[in-house]
Structure 1
Amino acid sequence: MDRMKDKVVLVTGGASGIGLSAANLMAAEGAKVVIADFNVDGAIEAAKNIQLRGGDAVGIFVDAAKETSIQEAIEFTAQRYGKLTCLFNNVGLTNLKKDLDVVHVDLDEWDRLMNVNLKCVLLGCRFAIPHMIRAGGGSIINTASMAGFTGDAVRVAYGASKAGVVNLTKYIATQYGKHNIRCNAVAPGLILTPAAQDNMPLDVLNMFAKYNALPYHGEPDDIGHTVLFLASDESKFITGQTIQVEGGHYIANPTVPDFEQFVQSV
């Protein structure tokens, strides 16, 4: 119950899904948690639920597209709890209608995703790092994606922005490691968040399942537990890394499921 004792954490995008899981798990291990989200009602409700379980949390508004809003969330956290020792940059957007292939991607959408998915990570770190230096160190965790490691038929802006998160994570780790600040990222595969369950047809979910090494999809807590590990001192000698949490979806020759089906048919 004390893996996060004396830690003060800001979780952006924490009202639901992966962010909510991480906030709950870190609070249960003793962290003081600020949950920031555009859905401020959801953030406040999430914090109230943590309080009901005996934890210390507060929900606030953040607009990850606006520099001032990100800075205000950082400053609020540091002022409320006297310090900031952990930042989970978890805001991210995707748009299957406008984020298409290279020839057809909407350029305004490209700019929007780069701003929210990548620049907001930079800004969160920019404003948090001075507080972490004053606190004697800290841990930053960024949400990347397996889209940052592979190519796809669509979502070129999303993939490029998440690849940027992977490399930005290395730069932050390199530049601030001597200040006892670690920076890592987590790259989820398909995770059954409420949004994924509401928006993905069963046929698409089955398509992903076909290529997983494991016989099930990931859930928010699979990422949340990874974030908890990276935020805690248990990972104190890990920095600059992106941990891929994707059920083995990308580890094998992509023809394996089709070859197995072929073998069974002959």
Structure 2
Amino acid sequence: MGRVSGKVALVTGGASGIGLSAARLMVREGAKIVIADYNVDAAKEAAEHIVHEGGEAEGLFLDASQADSIKDAVAYTVERYGSLTILFNNVGVTNLKKDLDVVNIDLDEWDRLMNVNTKSVLLGCRFAIPHMVESGGGSIINTASMAAFAGDSVRSAYGASKAAVVNLTRYIAAQYGKDKIRCNGVAPGLILTPAAKNSMPPAVLDIFAKYNALPYHGEADDIGNTVLILASDESKFITGQTIQVEGGHYMANPSIADFNQFLAQA
């Protein structure tokens, strides 16, 4: 207990999945939390559940495509709890029907993903950093993706937007480190959030399992616990890094699973 005691966190996209996991874990370790999400009912319900368990939390509406909405969420957090020392930029969207290869991608979808996935991170930091400076420092964590580090047949905009998050994380760390503000990222692979469980056919999950180095899929708490470490003083000498939490899916020769199967049958 107490790993982030006395700290105040704003978690965007915090009503479910990875964001909710991080929020709950930080509250359990002593932080006060504001959960901001487009699904305001879910955000408030999550906050109420945390309060019922003895924590301090508020839920509010956030439209990550709108600068004023992000600014208001930061202002609300500071007004409610007196400071802001942890920012978890966790909003992200994708659309497999429109975000295709570069010849066929919907250009409006490109703009939308860049705005929501990348610009929202910039704006969250833009509005939060002055309050962190006033508080004597803070920790910013940005959700990137393994799509930032590997090419794919589709999701060109998503991958590019998350690659931008990785590099923006470095820039923020370099620009505000002397103010005792750390900025790091976390890059999930396939994580079995409720949304993933409901949308991915078993055959797709089997494909991911085949190429994971570990014999299981990731859960939301695998990312939540990484965020907790980056939010806490345990990582006080880590900044500008993006930690890849992906079960070893991307680290090996991509043919290793098929080659091992060949050897077993030889």
Pairwise TM-score range, normalised by the shorter structure = over 0.9
Distance 2:251 2:4 in 1: 32
Q: Tell me by how many angstroms 1:263 deviates.
A: 1.4
Match of 1:186 in 2: 186
Match of 1:259 in 2: 259
Where does 1:113-262 land on structure 2 (aligned, <5 Å)?
113-262=113-262
Q: Tell me by how many angstroms 1:36 deviates.
A: 0.3
Q: Tell me by how many angstroms 1:238 deviates.
A: 0.3
Distance 1:12 1:26 in 2: 14
Residue identity over aligned pairs, in percent, reads 73
AA in 2 matched with 1:237: F
AA in 2 matched with 1:97: K
Q: Tell me by how many angstroms 1:260 deviates.
A: 1.1
1:140 match: secondary structure: strand
1:215 match: secondary structure: coil
Q: Tell me by how many angstroms 1:167 deviates.
A: 0.1
AA in 2 matched with 1:126: R
Distance 1:194 1:66 in 2: 26
Match of 1:67 in 2: 67
Deviates further, 253-262 or 156-165: 253-262
Distance 1:51 1:259 in 2: 51
AA in 1 matched with 2:263: V
AA in 1 matched with 2:126: R
Q: Tell me by how many angstroms 1:265 deviates.
A: 2.1
TM-score normalized by the length of structure 2: 0.99
Match of 2:94 in 1: 94
Distance 2:234 2:56 in 1: 22
Q: Tell me by how many angstroms 1:264 deviates.
A: 1.9
AA in 2 matched with 1:124: G
1:197 match: secondary structure: helix
Q: C-alpha offsets along residues 9-52 of structure 1, whole Å, 9 cap, x if unaligned? A: 00000000000000000001010000000000000010011111
Paired residues, what number? 266
Match of 2:28 in 1: 28
Distance 1:261 1:104 in 2: 36
Distance 2:51 2:157 in 1: 38
AA in 2 matched with 1:165: V
Q: Tell me by how many angstroms 1:262 deviates.
A: 1.2
Q: C-alpha offsets along residues 62-91 of structure 1, whole Å, 9 cap, x if unaligned? A: 000000000000000011111100100000
Gaps of 5+ in 2: none
Distance 1:260 1:2 in 2: 45
The reply on whether 1:51 has 2:51 as its aligned counterpart is yes
